[in-house]
Amino acid sequence: MINEIKKKIAKIDYIAIGTLLESYRLCGKANCLCKTSIKNHAHGPYYILTRKYKGKTITKSLNPQQAKLFKKALKNMKILNQLLEEWKLASFTYIYQIE
């Protein structure tokens, strides 16, 4: 079981922690569609990554390509954490059965 978990972990490429937000904004120009239209024509999407590093909050704007990679990395981090929990459980199970 542990070897299967290791194989799954080895297939993971990028990992990351943090929060990725997608936002749309109004520009403030009087004649812009985002101000004058009844429908929402806000500008965007804009991607914002927020994370903690050495106790400080880091906020970065990302382009669409970076945001796509970070979405994958954040998803991979969840998968990695789940696999590590399975590995711990398998380790405890194995150790407890030794007499």
What global pTM score does this model have?
Answer: 0.80
pLDDT at 40: 73
Residue 6 has pLDDT above 90, yes or no: yes
pLDDT at 38: 66
Domain edges within the chain: 2-97
Give me the residue label for tokens 């906020």.
59
Tokens matching residue 39:
């429908």
Tokens matching residue 21:
């937000």
Write out the DSSP string of 26-78: ----TTSHHHH-SS---EEEEEEEEEEETTEEEEEEE-HHHHHHHHHHHHHHH
